[in-house]
Structure 1
């Protein structure tokens, strides 16, 4: 990231936010998937279902039916699988756009297209939560997210506790950067802090991308959540609990 964009993100963090003092009786864990590659649906979702956990899938619907090696990224049927599971579909823009390069009007137009497309696939469905593609946050992007969504999730590592910004929530990637022991340690720390720990990944397969993880790693983290009897909620369920709804 350039120094200029680092400054823009820092300014956006200061100028545009939705502050909340987090006071939970117990930790919340949320599993999220970004983009989402097909294996997020076909491998990631069943792993979490095995433990009775719901999850959140941040979809950029410009990727739907998009050809990739060996098939397509995902289809409308994958989205319906998530809804049938009572898990959550959330917004990741339509075109997976770079917010650093986009005006407020461009971002709004792109988000409207994503909302329109999900209604064509699942009539009446409404995105309530958002994650920033590439983690890119600007004043314009955060203003739009603050007006349209309950939460905005970034890619900065951290457990959300104490004073938090609901449109710049921290999260930990489940991937090559984390071991099963480190995943369990994060869960233990979230329990100690009574914080909100959000995990994110992309594809779930043996030969995963730089941004994905193996099924075994995801299963290990989910199994420990089950062992510790954690409250595992979707993004929307979590913010509803936090806001007392």
Structure 2
């Protein structure tokens, strides 16, 4: 099977303005008054087989959990991030207690797609996961981090929380329909992630979500090495973070009391 090329999401001025405008639409702000210890979620997108094997092994070695956002239409393919997960990989992740989240069937750019197309991509993805014995996903990550008001309208009705890609901490008032995250990717990925860990550790009422893709010796620009991931997870443990799945963090944040909500 031929190796797929990276798709470029819309980084034009229009795309940036669309994502910024979406932050004011279909929001699910949280209160978090009961959170007293910073939470940390380690997540993997798409997901390459190396994340399901090397990434999972690293989390297990530290006794912590994580979330995989699966694009089922990519299963078994070769890509610029290496071989993608198989059904057996996904079942093994779930059996090990990790969360399986939704990422659309064919990695659809939800910022550019219409509601019906987004709905179908989600339904197709969930159908494949269901056939693997995976329960209905409770959380979602926007492929490419690309968001629109109409995309948020779709996921608002389906998921407990949805993750984007803009940097930031989840704190009181954060919109769980477009939650921020920090990438562990590229040459500067470790330094950036460590900086955010230090910042979050000083903010007890916070939740940091990290994401990456492939986890291998020679990673793509969107991934990291096993050594980098291991050091980051070890640092999170050292700093005393409460490791949670994305769904687990959302549950705690919402149970702690929602803020006012905008339609």
Q: Give the TM-score, by structure 1 length.
A: 0.94
Residues 205 and 229 of structure 1, relative CA distance in 2, 3 Å threshold? same
Structure 1: where are the runs of 5+ without partners?
A: none
Post-superposition CA distance 1:212-241 (Å, at most 9, x none) = 001111000111112223210101111122
Residues 2 and 244 of structure 1, relative CA distance in 2, 3 Å threshold? same
1:12 maps to 2:19 = no
CA contact 2:183–2:189 (8 Å) conserved in 1 = no
State the alpha-carbon separation in 2 of the partners of residues 164 and 10 from structure 1: 14
Post-superposition CA distance 1:194-218 (Å, at most 9, x none) = 2100000000011100100011110
CA contact 1:153–1:167 (8 Å) conserved in 2 = yes
Aligned residues: 244
1:44 maps to 2:55 = yes
Residues 81 and 53 of structure 1, relative CA distance in 2, 3 Å threshold? same
- Post-superposition offset of 1:72: 4.1
Query: Partner of 1:165: helix, strand, or coil?
Result: coil
- RMSD in angstroms over aligned alpha carbons? 1.9
State the alpha-carbon separation in 2 of the partners of residues 92 and 179 from structure 1: 22
Post-superposition CA distance 1:134-164 (Å, at most 9, x none) = 1110111000111100111001011111310
Match of 1:225 among 216, 233, 236: 236
Match of 1:2 among 12, 18, 23: 12
- Post-superposition offset of 1:70: 11
CA contact 1:175–1:214 (8 Å) conserved in 2 = no
State the alpha-carbon separation in 2 of the partners of residues 96 and 69 from structure 1: 14
The structure in which a higher percent of residues are strand is 1
Structure 2: where are the runs of 5+ without partners?
A: 1-10, 257-263
Tell me the equivalent position of 2:94: 83
State the alpha-carbon separation in 1 of the partners of residues 178 and 112 from structure 2: 19
Tell me the equivalent position of 1:175: 185
State the alpha-carbon separation in 2 of the partners of residues 39 and 140 from structure 1: 33
Tell me the equivalent position of 2:114: 103
State the alpha-carbon separation in 2 of the partners of residues 138 and 177 from structure 1: 29
Post-superposition CA distance 1:51-80 (Å, at most 9, x none) = 001100000000112245898411111001
The structure in which a higher percent of residues are helix is 1
- Post-superposition offset of 1:180: 4.4
- Post-superposition offset of 1:44: 0.6
Q: Give the TM-score, by structure 2 length.
A: 0.87
State the alpha-carbon separation in 2 of the partners of residues 206 and 66 from structure 1: 20
State the alpha-carbon separation in 2 of the partners of residues 163 and 172 from structure 1: 18
Query: Partner of 1:5: helix, strand, or coil?
Result: helix
Query: Partner of 2:30: helix, strand, or coil?
Result: strand
